[in-house]
Amino acid sequence: MLIEGMRSRLDTAATGVGNYLIKARTDVIARRPDGSISVNTQGIIYPP
């Protein structure tokens, strides 16, 4: 039960971070024509 609760919170937090990156960091995140997402790890490790 405790593990399920933690998993839910982690999923929510990860979703929030992902949504932020998709909206705010277009220099790092790019949506491909097929709907998948491409991440520029150089932009995350060495911010502009």
Domain residue spans in the chain?
Answer: 2-45
Quote the pLDDT of residue 4. Answer: 74
Quote the pLDDT of residue 46. Answer: 57
Q: What is the mean pLDDT of residues 11-16?
A: 88
Cα dihedral 21, 27, 32, 37 sign: negative
- Containing 8, the helix (H) or strand (E) segment is helix 2-24
Output the six-digit token pair for 41: 């790890």
pTM: predicted TM-score of the whole model, two decimal places: 0.53
Residue 29, φ and ψ in degrees, nearest 5: -110, 135
Judged against a pLDDT cut of 70, whether residue 45 lies above it is answered with no
How do residues 20-33 score in pLDDT, each as one tens digit?
A: 888 888 888 888 89
Q: What is the mean pLDDT of residues 8-13?
A: 87
Quote the pLDDT of residue 34. Answer: 93
> Which amino acid is residue 35, in one-letter code?
G
